[in-house]
Amino acid sequence: MATAALDDSTVGTVAFGDIVVRRLGFGAMRVSGARNTQGVRDRAEAVRLCRVVADRGVNLIDTANIYGYGQSEEIIAEALHPYRGMLIATKAGFKPGKIAPGETSLPPLGHPDHIREECDKSLLRLRVDVIDVYQVHVPDPAVPYEETVGAFVALQQAGKVRHIGVCNVTPNQLATARSLCNVVSVQNRYNVGDRASESVLETCEREGIAFMPWGPLLVDGTASEILVQAAVAHHATPQQVALAWLLHRSAVMAPIPGTTNVDHADANVDAAWLELTAAELAALARPGQRSDGQ
């Protein structure tokens, strides 16, 4: 197992407003599901996982109010508070609870009253007075996007939020949010096999907005075959190649791979040292490229 820690020169840095962090982060969606060697869910193992990630030099942690029914934020606080030199980003915008049978996600809930309530809960769970980056988790079709984003702006004006980010947005929704506030980050699905958010990424590149791709390792089809070939050549895993490609793809790219396993977390961080060849980068540039269709 590698033990080298990231530094600014390993992966470069990206700015979230006035907060500068390394470009390889950690997504804490599944951290509450960490299991011990007996395969049993173990809070202590979840805390250890967060600390291992931080010890490896990762200083960008992404979570949300709904992850583990709030447990993700609690575990991060137990493991890492008072967050010296770290950026903890969290989100609100879905209705907390269990996913209904036949559904693939929770229903959106972007009403300002809900956003204000969830912000206060996240502040308590994270043990902070101000959230570094508070993200609009998803647009709610039942609520004008301006109203949802406006709730985040009001929280910022009240001193509870330092910076605002948005997630799962179209180019038009990003433009709407930017007309209301300084958007410091975007979190959309993006990986070597799914580049439907290409034009959103291009806006982020042009405007200096951090881009956190969710689902960075969810790849299949032709892209997967190329990843496997490159992984064999580098004695790496396809997931490490996918992360290395993302880090190469853009200077504003900040992948946030998540896991419940310490060894997998170590492997994800090790991807920062993987150098792909020009031929491999050219092959990976082809699969999945398509317009937003938005």
Read off the pLDDT band of 2 (50, 70, 90). Answer: low
Which residue has 């892209």 as its token pair? 223
Output 223 or 146, whichever has higher pLDDT.
Answer: 146
Instruction: Give per-residue pLDDT as tens, 224-254.
Output: 888 999 999 999 999 999 999 999 999 999 9
Give the model's pLDDT for residue 291: 36
Q: Domain boundaries in the chain?
A: 15-284
What pLDDT was estimated at residue 287? Answer: 62
Class of domain 15-284: alpha beta
pLDDT 10s digits, 32-44? 999 998 889 999 9
Segment 180-194 mean pLDDT: 96
The set of catalytic residues is: 67
Higher local confidence (pLDDT), 223 or 258: 258
Amino acid 231: pLDDT: 95
66-122 pLDDT, tens digit per residue, is 999 999 999 999 999 999 999 999 999 999 999 999 988 999 999 999 999 999 999
pLDDT of residue 294: 29
Residue 1 confidence (pLDDT) above 70: no
Segment 192-216 mean pLDDT: 96
N-term to C-term CA, the chain = 43
Q: Are 96 and 66 in contact (CB under 8 A)?
A: yes
CA 252/CA 255 separation, integer angstroms? 10
pLDDT of residue 221: 73
Q: Given its phi and psi angles, is residue 15 left (phi above 0), alpha (psi -120 to 50 degrees) or beta?
A: beta
Determine the pLDDT at residue 288: 53
pLDDT band at 223 (very low <50, low <70, confident <90, very high): confident
What pLDDT is stored for residue 220 in this prediction? 72
pLDDT at 217: 85
Residues 6+ apart with CB under 8 A from 161: 119, 130, 131, 134, 152, 155
Nearest to 281 by CA among 244, 238, 232: 244
Residue 96 CB burial class (10 angstroms; 0-12, 13-18, ≥19): middle
pLDDT tens-digit profile of 254-291? Answer: 999 999 999 999 999 999 999 999 999 999 987 654 43
How would residue 222 be classed by pLDDT, with cut points 50, 70 and 90?
A: confident
Print the SS3 string covering 88-151.
EEEEECECCCCCCCCCCCCCECCCHHHHHHHHHHHHHHHCCCCEEEEEECCCCCCCCHHHHHHH
**pLDDT digit string, tens, across residues 116-158:** 999 999 999 999 999 999 999 999 999 999 999 999 999 999 9
